[in-house]
Amino acid sequence: MIKKAFEDEAMSRSKTFEWHKRFIEGREDINDDSRAGRPSTSRNVEMVAKVRKIIRSDRRMTIRELSTECNISFGS
């Protein structure tokens, strides 16, 4: 019934059961849990502007040097 009303925007049946279990176990909100590791900093407006500025000042800089300079991972 929900799938008919909301089509692709409806949560799958398995996800619905998964979230139900989480709330039964005491969860109180739907916000993401914090994760271990370095936070993603490479895809925000400030970082993009910083990378552009560095590239414009030295077009011979390698990606590895750029990632070190900006303190972002090589794969970002």
Instruction: Show me where the domains of the chain are located.
Output: 2-29+41-70
- Give the other-Cβ count within 10 Å of 1's Cβ: 6
**pLDDT (tens digit per residue) in 22-74:** 999 999 998 877 777 766 666 788 888 999 999 999 999 998 999 898 888 87
Can you give the pTM of this predicted structure?
A: 0.44
d(CA 10, CA 4): 9
Could you write out the DSSP letters of every residue in 33-47?
A: PP-SSPPP-TTSHHH
Question: Which tokens belong to 2?
Answer: 């929900």
Whole-number pLDDT of residue 38: 64
